Amino acid sequence: MRIYDITVPLSADTPVYPGDPAVAISPWTSIAAGDLANVSQLTLCSHSGTHLDAPRHFSDQGMPVDEIPPALLVGTARVVEVLGVKAIGRQDLHRLPVAGVERLLLKTDNSELWQEEGFKQNFAALTAEGVRYLLESGVKLVGVDYLSVESVDGDGEVHRLLLDNGVPILEGVNLAGVPPGEYELICLPMKIKGGDGAPVRALLRGEKAGGGANAFDPHTSKWPLA
């Protein structure tokens, strides 16, 4: 059994979305300073690092993060590659095995951005057209490998289309080194009462390094039937 930790570590160096508070971790008590134990103070926003967007993020009436059913956040997921594309639309997704997939993680060129310092504006993101195709395909959770599912010049439509349809968004995962294929996804957020989102520890678990015996080969048009 191979386990991939697709979570971005939280530190002062973690990139944050423009306008969000930076991550700060400082000692509150310290054994080195003569205290009984080490205790740290954390300063971060609900959308720091690897995190889950809840419907409450874009609607005061939306479901908060603490009420999202855990069964939606744990279960079979598929990782698909969309490389060389910045605006991921219907045409890009149509060629991929996404129909009937409940939990979909998009591996893009973004995963390489985690090697660089600071926030990068020109990341790959979904278009509204692409989101509509995913909704038509039955997707119930979408994961992306940078800090937003929507481009920085978006008006929130991409987020609202997903969240208003009850589809939580797993943002800020790192899929570098994760082969396309089927896995078990485990992405449990902090249980923040009434929260619009929360950091998560996200894991992918597969039978083999390639996500299982029936992993999708992105270099062919074939998808194993058994």
pTM of the model: 0.91
Going from the C-alpha of 160 to that of each of 75, 164, 167, 168, 205, the distances in angstroms are 24, 5, 10, 10, 30
| Nearest alpha-carbon partner for 131 in 172, 96, 167, 100 | 167
Length of the chain: 226
What pLDDT score does 219 carry?
A: 40
| Nearest alpha-carbon partner for 64 in 195, 198, 199 | 195
**Domain ranges (residues) in the chain:** 2-8+46-206
Ordered alpha helix ranges (H), the chain: 70-73, 90-94, 128-137, 157-163
Work out the mean pLDDT of the chain and round it to a whole number.
93
The mean-pLDDT minimum among 72-76, 165-169, 215-219 falls in 215-219
From 47, 51, 57, 159, active-site residue: 57
| Distance between CA atoms of residues 197 and 45, nearest Å | 9
Residue 57 designated active-site? yes
> What homologous superfamily is domain 2-8+46-206 in, according to CATH?
Putative cyclase (3.50.30.50)
Confidence of residue 143 (pLDDT cuts 50, 70, 90): very high
Q: Which residue has the tokens 């939280």?
A: 10
Per-residue pLDDT tens digits for 67-83: 999 999 999 999 999 99
The mean-pLDDT minimum among 4-8, 132-136, 181-185, 213-217 falls in 213-217
